[in-house]
Amino acid sequence: MERTSPCATSSANELARDMATIMADQPEKKPAPVVPKHPELLMAAREGDPVRLSILLDEPVVAWTAIDIQDGDGGGNPVRHAEAVTSGLDSILHVVASGGDGDQFLEGASVIHSKARHLLDAGNSEGDTPLHCAARAGRIEMVSKLIRLARAEAGDERVKAALRKQNRQRETALHEAVRLADREMVERLMSADPQLARLPEVDGASPLYLAVSLGHDVIAELLHSKDQGLSYCGPDGQNVWHAAVLHNNTHMLMQWGKHELIKQGDRAHGSTPLHSAASRGVPGTVMALLEADKSSAYQYDNEGLLPIHVAAMENKGDVVRVFLDECPGCAEAQDARGRTFLHVAVASRNSTLVLNAYRYFRGHRRHGAERFETIMNMRDGYGNTGLHLAVKTRSVEIFYYLLWNKGIQLNFRDNMGRTALDILEKPVGFNFWLDPRLMMWSLLEAAGAEYGDHHNGFPHLDEEKEAKMISDSIPTVGIISALLVTISFAAAFAIPGGYRAGDDTKSGSSPGTPVLAKTYSFQGFVVANNLALLCSALATISLAYAGVTNVDIRTRMATFGLSIFFLHGSARSLAAAFAFGTYAALAPVARAISVLTWLGMSFSSLDVAWLACTLAVVQLLLLKRLGARAWLRVAAVILVLSVWALWPYIIILGLLAYYKTHGGIH
């Protein structure tokens, strides 16, 4: 007996795996389409020629592989070559049924049925029977003809069997009539089988669901009047109430009952019709559903959310108000993660909804403000209060609302022992004054917030991040500083008023000196321009140090901060130099225009006013917690910001005052 080498076995296994991989990578081959070979029969069916159909159907059978046309039960009938005439496996009865309502088509259907009765409920590739095709094409007389042919076979039971055949979408011929909103066809189908609207019973779109979803209210009422036991089911576990919510058409269903279906969730998400209505944000629909079954407000979906949580997540404030009016207990109801609707709104950064909820509680309930604060102070499954979530999501507006309410606790711990101040951490590195994290941290600290029990000090500086920020900012800052140096340097030689000529003997001044040298505005121009040149030069020098990568990161940060500071001062000084120079040159001849120049220059300080007002107003949020000390903070913010931003003007005006006192400025 021969032994197989292990190496050979291993190689064979590897080869097999490689071949399997190659075969898996090949595109899946689709089955070859059926190509019917009898155009004469198809032409006769299309034209509704009963004589020609009869002749062709009497031809002897050609020996070839039979084609299976699926019937409604999922089985197959071996059919003759003459029975499949299209690539979609439509039989000749399918073609005639959809061809027309004329006498020749109706007679053709009789001829075909007399020779191949099983085609009456045979399905094509999509499972459609001739009745489906006739109804879809709106051939009402053909539908009636096929019903009579079925009844002639075996009475009403045969009619019901034919009409109840479902295609691959689990739809009957009645669905096609509903889709066309053909009232007469619906009446004929329902007269032939009064219980036809009960299909499908589960897991599929019923005719009533289809009518409501398409907005065919007349057809929906007709179906209900014909059979009050009809199916309410829809696709994916939905029901007619889901469709009615989508089209804001619940008033009709309210009259029919079946209110218990309002609590039925779909298969995918467990969303009830009330969840859908809350998500869409239609207060009237939500009110109608609650009037029908108020307990549906406490039905959870698969994610553990109540309808009020969905409304809060989608920022539907009017819907939330309906829930609070009709079901006050929803306010404290928690989802699977322990969140109330206010927690959900904060996590979704829906500041308008939070503010409106606060106003609602304050104005519509006794001790309403306290109730709002109690809900916000509730801890979810992770121990987060509303304040924790506000600082996590950096939702500044919501944070302001909560800080203004003194009843909001600042030092509650989450499950990890962290307070809101721990979550924010002290900002390090460069931050803009209005940076949300910096503002929230400074306000919490001023309000007396504390760190948690496991606080491990302030966060370390992210040197790599700061170095990248500096490197990315240097090109822009460098270009601006170089431009300011160039402009201020050029302005020093293009002085307003020009220089005195050599033949000017009346002024008593030396030739080549500035004409306006002793005027107040000219001195202001010189001081402001020199200060602009000095600041821009210092900004450029500082920026050069900041750009050296082998310098310590903290030194680079300090020099970069100095460059921004001096760049800011240079820009303000240059604006002042422009105003002084323009006034010096134009005041003697066009004083009004020179005054306008000063006014225009003053607009360059609007950013300082805006920033000061913003920061000052924010400090007033501490008024309830700090009392009069909040006003001291407002004054300090305005003073510090004004000095920081306007120091060039202070220097310029101070020097001018000195020159005017000691230098004889006119």
Q: What is the rounded CA–CA span in Å between residue 241 and residue 261? A: 7
Amino acid at position 175, single letter: H
SS3 state at 432:
coil
Who contacts 464 (Cβ-Cβ below 8 Å, separation ≥6)? Answer: none
Q: How big is the CA angle at 570 (ends 565 and 571), to the nearest 5 degrees?
A: 100
H/E stretch holding 70: strand 67-70
| Pairwise CA distance, residues 256 & 227, whole Å | 12
Percent composition of the chain: helix, strand, coil (DSSP 3-state, to 5): 65, 0, 35
Structure-token match 């898996």, residue found: 24
Q: How far is CA 586 from CA 85, 329, 516, 596, 602, in A?
A: 96, 73, 12, 11, 18
Residue 333 Cα to chain centre, angstroms: 26
Mean pLDDT split into 10-residue runs, the chain, 666 residues? 39 45 46 63 85 81 40 42 66 91 93 89 90 96 96 93 94 96 96 95 92 95 94 94 91 89 93 95 94 94 96 96 95 96 96 94 77 94 96 94 93 93 83 84 92 75 83 89 88 71 56 66 86 92 87 88 92 88 76 75 81 88 91 91 89 85 61
Hey, where are the domains in the chain? 36-59+66-168, 349-460, 470-499+512-662
472: amino acid identity, one letter = D
CB atoms < 10 A from the CB of 555, how many? 12
**Rounded Cα gap, residues 310 and 315, in angstroms:** 9
Query: What distance lies between CA 161 and its chain's CA centroid?
Result: 48
The full 3-state SS of 439-500, as one line of letters, equals: HHHHHHHHCCCCCCCCCCCCCCCCHHHHHHHHHHHHHHHHHHHHHHHHHHHHHHHCCCCCEC
Grouping H, G, I as helix, E, B as strand and the rest as coil, residue 522 is helix
Contact 402, 408 (CB under 8 A): yes
pTM: 0.78
**Token pair for 261:** 């279906």
- Is 349-460 in the same CATH topology as 36-59+66-168? yes
Tokens of 345: 């709104």
Residue range 350-392, pLDDT digits in tens: 999 999 999 999 887 666 788 999 999 999 999 999 999 999 9
What's at 137, amino acid-wise? A
Element (H, E) at 77: strand 76-79
Rg, Å, the chain Cα set: 42
Q: What pLDDT does residue 520 have?
A: 77
Yes or no: say if 143 and 189 are a contact pair by the CB < 8 Å rule.
yes
**CA 520 to CA 527: how far, in whole Å?**
11
Paired strand residues for 78: 68
d(CA 534, CA 262) in angstroms, rounded, equals: 75
Pick from 442, 448, 439, 447: nearest CA to 614: 439
Residue 167: strand, helix, or coil? coil
pLDDT at 512: 58
b/e string for 120-145 if b means 16 or more Cβ within 10 A? bbbbbbebbbbbbbbbbbebbbbbbb
Q: What is the reported pLDDT for 234?
A: 94
Domain 36-59+66-168 belongs to what topology? Answer: 1.25.40
Q: Under DSSP, is residue 233 helix (H, G, I), strand (E, B) or coil?
A: strand
How confident is the model over 151-180, as pLDDT tens digits? Answer: 999 999 999 999 999 999 999 999 999 999
In the block, residue with structure tokens 């006794």: 366
Is residue 635 classed as helix, strand or coil in its secondary structure?
A: helix
DSSP letter assigned to residue 509: S
User: Residue 125: which of 172, 170, 71 has the closest Cα?
Assistant: 71
Instruction: Express each pLDDT in 475-533 by its tens digit.
Output: 988 899 889 888 888 887 777 766 665 555 555 556 656 666 667 778 888 889 999 99
Distances (CA, A) of 187 to 167, 222, 233: 21, 8, 21
C-beta separation of 378 from 337 below 8 A: no
Backbone φ and ψ of 110, nearest 5°: -65, -40
- Region for 170 from its dihedrals, namely left if φ exceeds 0, alpha if ψ lies in -120 to 50, beta otherwise: left
Q: Which residues, in sequence order, are CB contacts of 607 under 8 Å at separation 6+? A: none
At residue 78, the 3 state secondary structure works out as: strand
Give the CATH fold of the 349-460 domain: 1.25.40
Which tokens go with 273?
Answer: 């019709």
Q: How far apart are CA 662 and CA 630, in angstroms?
A: 43
